[in-house]
Amino acid sequence: MAVIEFLTLWIKDIAIIFVLISIIQIVLPNNNMKRYVDMIIGFLIIIVIISPFVNLLYKDFNIDKEIFKKTNEQIKFQHMDNLDLDSTQEEQIKEIYTGKIKDEIRDLIHENTNYKIENVNVSIYEDNTQYGNIKDIELILKEDKKKDENKEEPKNLITISNIQKISIGENKELTTALMEFDDKEIKNLISKNHNISEENIRIFLNTLGEGELGGETYY
Amino acid sequence: MNVDLIFKIASIGILLSVLHTVLDKAGKEEFAYITTLVGVVIVFSLVIGLISKLFDNIKTLFQLY
Amino acid sequence: MEIISIVGIGIVSTILVVLLRQSNRSEFALLVSLATGIIIFSMILGKLKYVVETLSQLIKNTNIEFTYFSIILKIIGIAYIVEFGAQISRDAGEEAIASKIELGGKVVMMVLAMPILLALMDLIIKILP
C-alpha cells in the first residue's frame, strides 16, 4: 500500500536524521559557535519532517532547486557593486574587437589593391544570437600615390556631399566630396574574409588629394 | 610535519632567549632585539607553511572552497 | 594507538610552553602552542574524513537532498577553524581579536544558512492556506 510505503520512508528519514545529529554533536567543538550549528540542524529537521507532506500537496516542489535559486540571488546581491566594472569591461572588449577587425581590413586592402584606407567603420551585432558578427562595414578609401598605374575607372559615380557618417564611437563628422565607389573586387575580398554579405559593405572614395582645401580630415 | 617541529621551535626559542640575555648583559640591547626578531620570523615562516597545509586540508574535507 | 601520541605531544608541549613563557619569550610560547595545535589537528583529520564520508553515504540513502548536508558540513568546518583561531588569540591575551574572529565566523555561517532559512519559509507559506 502506498500509505505504508510513504510512512516507512518518512520514518526512515527521521531516524537517520537523528543519528546524524547525534554524531555531529559529538564531533563538533563546543564553543560559542555551537548554538548556531544547533539552530541550523533544527531547520534541517523541520524541513525533512515537513517536506513529504508538501510533496503530497504540491507535487514537484523541489526544495533543492529553491535553495539553489536563493543561493544564486544571494551571490548576485553580494556582487552588485561589481556590475559597473562588468559593463565597462564589456565596452572595452567590444572596442578592442572592432579595432582588430578594422586593422585586418586595413591590411587586406592595402596589400591587395591600390587604395589606402582613410577610415573604417565597423558595426557588430549585439543581440545574443549573433553577438560579434559584423553587421556592416563602411570604408573610406583614398588613392594610393605609390602605385602609378591607374586601376580601372570607377564604375558608378554618385556624388554625395555632406553625408553624416554613422559610426559606433562618438565622432560624428561631416564628410564632403565623397563618392560612392562600387568596386566589386574589394567587396569580394572583404566579404570572403569576414563572412559578410556584399550588400553590407559600403565603400566611399575620397577624391580630395592631400593638402587640398575643402575636406575634413579624419584622425 | 610531526613532532620534530615542536622540538625545533622550542629549542630555537630557548636558544634565542639565552642569546637575548647574553647580549643584554653585554650591553648591546638593540642587537638583542634584532636577533629576536629574526628568530621569530624564521619560526613564523615554518609555522605558516604548516598552517596553510592544515587549512587546505580542512577546506578539502569540508568542501569549503 | 594514536591517542597516546596525541596526549604525549600535548603534555610535552605544555611543559615547553610554560618554560618559554617563564623566560620572557612569550611569542615563542605562542608559536609552540600554535604548532602543537596544528600537528594534533592534522593527526585527527584523517579520522574525521572517515566520519564525514560515512555520514554522507548515510545521507545518500535517504530522501534528504545533498545540498543540506554540504551546507551543514561547511558550517561545521567554519566552526572548527574559527575556534582554532579564536582560542589562540585568547591564549595570548587578546580577547578583543578573538571575539572579532568569532564574530566573523558567526556572520559567515549565517550567510551560508540564509538560503535554507528562506527555502523553509517558502515551504511553510506554501502549506498555509
Does a structural domain hold residue C59? no
Residue of C nearest to B47 (CA): C35
Please report the pLDDT score of residue A175 as a whole number: 45
Residue A184 has, within 13 A of its CA and on its CB side, a CA count of 2
Q: Is C1 helix (H, G, I), strand (E, B) or coil?
A: coil
Distance from CA of B22 to the nearest CA of C (A): 13
Distance from CA of C3 to the nearest CA of B (A): 14
Residue with cell 586601376: A151
Binary contact (B10, C76; C-beta < 8 A): no
Please report the pLDDT score of residue C96 as a whole number: 95
Residue of C nearest to B64 (CA): C74
Does a structural domain hold residue C13? yes
For residue A215, give Cα distances in angstroms to A177, A179, A197, A209, B28.
7, 13, 31, 9, 82
CB atoms within 10 A of CB A187: 21
Helices in A58-81 by DSSP H: which ranges?
Answer: 63-78
Give me the numbers of helices (H) and strands (E) for chain A, helices first please.
Answer: 5, 7
Residue of C nearest to A48 (CA): C64
pLDDT digits (tens, 9 = 90+) for A102-131: 788 778 777 777 677 777 777 776 665 556
ipTM over 0.90: no
| Residue % of chain A over a pLDDT of 70 | 60
Residue C70 belongs to domain spanning: 65-129
Binary contact (C123, A47; C-beta < 8 A): yes
Rg (CA), chain B: 17
Does a structural domain hold residue C40? yes
Binary contact (A54, C76; C-beta < 8 A): no
- C109 and C74 fall within a common domain: yes
Does a structural domain hold residue C55? no
Binary contact (C106, A51; C-beta < 8 A): no
The verdict on C31 touching B (C-beta cutoff 8 Å) is yes
Binary contact (B14, C27; C-beta < 8 A): no
Average pLDDT by consecutive 10-residue portion of chain B (65 residues)? Answer: 81 86 86 86 87 87 78
Does a structural domain hold residue C57? no
pTM of the model: 0.62
Count of structural domains within chain C: 2
- Domain boundaries defined on chain A: 2-78, 84-206
Own/partner long-range contacts of A53-59 (Cβ < 8 Å, ≥24 apart) = A53/C127, A54/C123, A54/C126, A54/C127, A57/C126, A57/C127, A58/C126
